[in-house]
Structure 1
Amino acid sequence: MWNWIIFCGLVVCLICLTDQTQGQKTPSVVQGTDCTQIKTLSPRATSGVYVIQPAGVTSPFKVYCEMLADGGWTVFQMRTGAEVLFNKTWAEYEQGFGHLQKDHWLGLSKVFVLTKGGRGRSSTMRVDLWDFEGGTAFAEYSNFRLGTEKESYKLNVGAYKGNAGDAIRGKYASIDQNGFGFSTTDKDNDGCSPCILFGDIAVDKCSFLDGGGWWYSRCGSASLNGDWHPAGEHIGWNSGLHWATWKGPVPYSTRASRMMIKTVWEKIIIAN
């Protein structure tokens, strides 16, 4: 009987050390406030799942860190296929879903605490895109942050740089998504009441048209949480992984996307 009790105890310990949601063993101790700090403290740190605890957060949580030459990036969105559906509710987008090492959405509440900022601290957001022809592109935005839950996690981005185009601000001013709250099929915060698209189609909720949750305006030219479409079926869909300033004019759903955050510390000069 004692052997059976010991065996059961070992099983419980193994379960505690294993991330059942993400399917891999990860340390249970906090390793940093975010991926940027982990990379700074451990320059040889490699990409993978880490436990972080941002300032002011009582419960640590796991994230996937992309450790690059320019620092550690906290991944909050990854799309590579159709295994994980992104047509989710507000509650699911707020809490997060998917598999950290594969397709996932980290959660609006977690991205909020990661980008709250503070004295001398801001966040850069990077969007990486892959097409079906072997091409890649990226977009970076300085001063990235989300509003509070009461503000529906409103999107705020600063200056753009990259070669994918500034799809968040869009091809023309009236579809600028900067400053809009996050929308899902069960919680609408877009700028349509309604929008007239494609000449004669009236749309009240962009999330129904584009699929997935996003910071829609009217409805906008960036939307990476729609339906994933395979090669040969990735052109012409209203839903999809769209970054219209990179691919177009016909709607083009990208093969893969990744969104991630890096902390930037500014030098504070104290006068004598």
Structure 2
Amino acid sequence: MIVLYIVIISLFTTGITATSNCLQKIKEAKRNAVKYQYPCGLPSPENCCIFKENPFDQSPCGVYKMNNWCSGRLTVVGMYCDTTTDNGGWTVIQRRKDGSENFNRSWADYERGFGNLSREFWYGLKAINCLTKTGQWELRVDFELPDKTRSYLHYNQFRVGSASEEYPLTIGGFTGITSTDPFSTGGHNGQKFSTYDNDNDKWSRNCAVGVGRVKGSGGWWHNDCWHVNFNIPYNPAQYGCLYLSRKWFNPSWLEMKIRPLNCATE
């Protein structure tokens, strides 16, 4: 009986140790973002939702390497993961914060992406299409105004179409702490992407070339140019890129981020 008791205690202790070691390996694997199969039977990550799958994990926000099959073969790409906002799991696809990056870019640049993932960047239409093509994704836009007021927009439907379709936007299910849905009032849902060298908007001219005082307005899902364009030249003191409740707002900091719909409930 004593021998059996010792064996049971030993197995129990070994199980705890194995679990602890497994969790440590998971954390190390997430930090290192390895290209191969994760330890303990977890699949290799393909988006930032991986950081919600382990309640013991306290991974910081930052750039992580993720597996990517968009090209038809396995590659490793960098993603900036927001692991804290609204329980985390967000892949950041755009950021403006200081005007250090030029967003007056060509169609080719907007397709492949540009900038620095740790500063200002656009993740790339090809990559965003690959991530969201199932349609089961949500979008959150966090922003800060020059007076330090913070707010956000949230949509429970977000998808970017394929290159052959000119990357059309599907967006809906608005929630958030603002009273107005600028994507809806501006008619951006269903619009193809436009740049200065590929005009797909509904205006008689090209919204991405410039509107009024705003020159080099940047690539966007333009309709008749406004009410939303997060890629206009950075100038919080002057230009408005967000129309809410009959007022123009000029964020000094802004992030667009996405995550799978089922990520929010895991």
- Normalising by structure 1, what TM-score? 0.73
User: Match for 1:255 among 215, 236, 252?
Assistant: 252
Q: How many residues align?
A: 216
Q: Distance in 2 between matches of 1:259 and 1:151?
A: 22
Pairs within 5 Å for 1:26-175: 27=33, 29=35, 32-41=45-54, 43-54=57-68, 57=71, 58=73, 59-68=75-84, 69-117=86-134, 122-164=136-178, 165-170=180-185, 175=186
Percent identity for Structure 1 against Structure 2 = 29
**Displacement of 1:33 after TM fit?**
1.1
Work out whether residues 169 and 176 of structure 1, in 8 Å CA contact, stay in contact via their aligned partners in 2. Answer: yes
Determine if contact 2:146/2:250 at 8 Å carries over to the other structure: no
Q: CA shift at 1:72, angstroms?
A: 0.9
Check the 8 A contact 1:95/1:108 in 2, yes or no. yes
Deviations 1:25-56 (A, max 9, x none): 97553651100124324732221111112455
Unmatched 5+ stretches in structure 1 = 1-24, 195-203, 267-272
Task: Provide the C-alpha distance between the structure 1 equivalents of 2:32 and 2:99, rounded to a whole number of angstroms.
Answer: 26
* TM-score (norm: length of structure 2): 0.75
Q: In structure 2, what is the Cα distance between the partners aligned to 1:45 and 1:124? A: 22
3-state secondary structure, aligned to 1:32 = coil
Give the structure with higher Rg (CA): 2
Whether contact under 8 Å (2:98, 2:234) holds in the other structure is yes
The aligned counterpart of 1:224 is 230
Using the alignment, how far apart are the partners of 1:245 and 1:77 within structure 2?
Answer: 20
Matched to 2:79, the amino acid is V
- The aligned amino acid for 2:232 is G
Structure 1 runs of 4+ with >3 Å offset: 25-28, 54-57
- The letter for the 2-side match of 1:85 is N
Higher mean C-alpha displacement, 65-74 vs 108-117: 65-74
Runs (5+) with no aligned partner, structure 2: 1-30, 37-43
